[in-house]
Structure 1
């Protein structure tokens, strides 16, 4: 009888070798798995999902400069530097790699998209988006986890904890990079031992240690950390016996104030990370699909601090070697006051589950009954995603 622990150890060893980690000495410090992995990948198709937590402003990332109402809403701030997509839409100048992919027909933009959630709470919106339900907390497992379980595929989430989207899968794992010992954390622990009898100091130290722990667990923001994780995801997916699905998440997109300046830093960092992912995938880019999504959009008008508030309709990106790109996929609702939701938000005309559905079908080859378990109640499906 096969020893499960030996099989798992052999799998992780092969994964590290395939990703080139053993040679470089960068064996993952924390790689936790659920279930036992097979000794060969089930498919050559690859899927990467990137969740932008905090709600990316889709009208900043992909401005609708050809809409008659655009100039009055945002035009003076965002139109002059946008990169042209077509007569209606442009792309933020910080997304230069994505714009090039669009021109090369390897990226499509899905605009005016959202889940069916309308209450503008990050927590509830993310729960619904990751679970794949028709309302928050209708489901306790994730759409990607259910798809993995139904197909017996494996996946890796490059995060400290298992995201809801992958819960429900026996063969999902998490990975975080190794860190050198945190000197400040060690110092706090020593001080706590030295002054254990001083209640006031002990309480203060406990609060400091809690904040330190929270900062260590915080999700990555768009920057060098994200680029490293994206490249690592590509290495895992390229390994001969590695997973074929990866999950990345990026925080910091809740731009209530000084949005233009913040996005001028964050969007280029996201762009560079996605370019690094592609570089790391190398020839496997041809069989990879990347979905970039966020929980909802933001208000169409500025608030009093040169930011935007929680909104509804947003944007998603589909990229990869098999994407029939160079298109903005939208049933554009318009930005006139009477066209907007509640007179303030881009009105969503597409369900994000219609974007997810064809990706799941292609990646996992599931039939209609299995798909009802993965995305219960979802009937619409985005057409013409793939090259013929």
Structure 2
């Protein structure tokens, strides 16, 4: 049986088992280009990830969280990278990482679900589109470059579109109760096919839901899995990875450090696993919105507005830079307590994708974000 990866979207509960399905082969791809979209579900704190330590208002606003980035790589006179991102710091030094700061979608409220829908769908308002920006991108690419796969809880909105008409989505149930897991374990136990599928399904879901677990090992394993699904020999060319755990309302210092370490390990393992293909890969890391400028009384941060997006890969033309039309952190410069957005995340994504695939930027913007561009 020959099945193109273009017609197969695997959820986080079954992705790791894909290669074990008997008789399953994939159509060969004729291009080295790869695109990976990593979603940080929960509103990742861009002010801690790429901290504006050169802003005179930073220390007073962040109070006890101001030294989160102590020991991190100094990117320029304004920004310092969180110390948990050591491998990504190496990419930055090698001009394979670019950070876009004070960016946001057009969403300005505080619902994670609505914000994530805007991030993936690329519409003017939540649930304004039934397809996603990657799904709209795929028809612009040669047929051999459209093979797409996702490590997610269900077929992600970002990949939906006319280029993926025959998708399989092995979605987890809305609530996977312990009793159900126990029953499935009993049912699958000892089966030469079902037992490995069940084990890898549970393992993959755990990796994506807690990339910082096991001292970052979960993130590394997830990156290794992603690379195995995108290797040059007939692998996918486009991937979405959904990661959770970025909502840091309390106890942010340790929790965010663990999350970022897991992300760092994910990227490092992806780079290692892809080998030379990393030089033809663009990885975009983005979140639905940022967090408040002021730390709260529980050692965390509440929902904000703008955040940081990462562009990673071996073919960047602006690697080793932080781009920001910096608004400042003073009270008058804020947007409802959060970092004021000064640049469009949609434009940032469209420009990066256009450069990666050598496409006309205006056409890409109008295709990926037709309601905006």
Give me the TM-score of the superposition, normalised by structure 1: 0.76
With 263-272 and 366-375 compared, the bigger mean Cα shift is at 366-375
Query: Is the Cα–Cα contact under 8 Å of residues 157 and 174 in structure 1 kept in the other structure?
Result: no
Match of 1:72 among 34, 38, 60: 60
Other-structure match for 1:98: 88
Other-structure match for 1:157: 150
Query: Is the Cα–Cα contact under 8 Å of residues 221 and 252 in structure 1 kept in the other structure?
Result: yes
Query: Is the Cα–Cα contact under 8 Å of residues 353 and 375 in structure 1 kept in the other structure?
Result: yes
Query: Is the Cα–Cα contact under 8 Å of residues 219 and 265 in structure 2 kept in the other structure?
Result: no
Other-structure match for 2:330: 336
TM-superposed CA distance for 1:369, in Å, is 5.2
Query: Is the Cα–Cα contact under 8 Å of residues 249 and 298 in structure 2 kept in the other structure?
Result: yes
TM-superposed CA distance for 1:42, in Å, is 4.6
- Does residue 47 (structure 1) correspond to residue 40 (structure 2)? The answer is no
Other-structure match for 1:345: 338
Q: Distance in 2 between matches of 1:302 and 1:109?
A: 23
> Structure 2: any 5+ residue segments left out of the alignment?
9-15, 172-176, 187-200
Query: Is the Cα–Cα contact under 8 Å of residues 204 and 222 in structure 2 kept in the other structure?
Result: no
> Structure 1: any 5+ residue segments left out of the alignment?
1-5, 16-24, 177-181, 192-212, 380-388
Q: Distance in 2 between matches of 1:77 and 1:370?
A: 40
TM-superposed CA distance for 1:375, in Å, is 1.3
Q: Distance in 2 between matches of 1:40 and 1:187?
A: 39
Question: Highest CA radius of gyration, 1 or 2?
Answer: 1
Match of 1:296 among 286, 289, 306: 289
Cα 1:183–1:245 change in 2 (3 A) is same
- Does residue 221 (structure 1) correspond to residue 214 (structure 2)? The answer is no
Q: Distance in 1 between matches of 2:271 and 2:203?
A: 29
Alignment of 1:52-67 (within 5 A): 52-67=40-55
Aligned residue for 2:100, secondary structure, equals: strand
TM-superposed CA distance for 1:239, in Å, is 2.9
Q: Distance in 2 between matches of 1:318 and 1:282?
A: 18
Other-structure match for 2:310: 317
Alignment of 1:65-144 (within 5 A): 65-74=53-62, 76-144=66-134
Aligned residue for 1:7, secondary structure, equals: coil
Query: Is the Cα–Cα contact under 8 Å of residues 300 and 346 in structure 1 kept in the other structure?
Result: yes
Q: Distance in 2 between matches of 1:105 and 1:308?
A: 31
Q: Distance in 2 between matches of 1:335 and 1:187?
A: 50
> RMSD over aligned Cα, in angstroms?
3.2
Q: Distance in 2 between matches of 1:241 and 1:126?
A: 31
With 134-143 and 50-59 compared, the bigger mean Cα shift is at 134-143
Aligned residue for 1:84, secondary structure, equals: coil
Cα 1:175–1:41 change in 2 (3 A) is farther
Cα 1:133–1:40 change in 2 (3 A) is same
Q: Distance in 2 between matches of 1:80 and 1:7?
A: 52
Cα 1:300–1:370 change in 2 (3 A) is closer
Cα 1:84–1:172 change in 2 (3 A) is farther
TM-superposed CA distance for 1:361, in Å, is 2.5
Give me the TM-score of the superposition, normalised by structure 2: 0.79
Query: Is the Cα–Cα contact under 8 Å of residues 40 and 243 in structure 2 kept in the other structure?
Result: yes
Aligned residue for 1:83, secondary structure, equals: coil
- Does residue 243 (structure 1) correspond to residue 231 (structure 2)? The answer is no
CA deviation vs aligned residue, 1:182-223 (integer Å, no higher than 9, x gap): 9964755799xxxxxxxxxxxxxxxxxxxxx99996752213
Other-structure match for 1:256: 249
Match of 2:263 among 246, 270, 275: 270
Cα 1:319–1:86 change in 2 (3 A) is same
Q: Distance in 2 between matches of 1:187 and 1:243?
A: 33
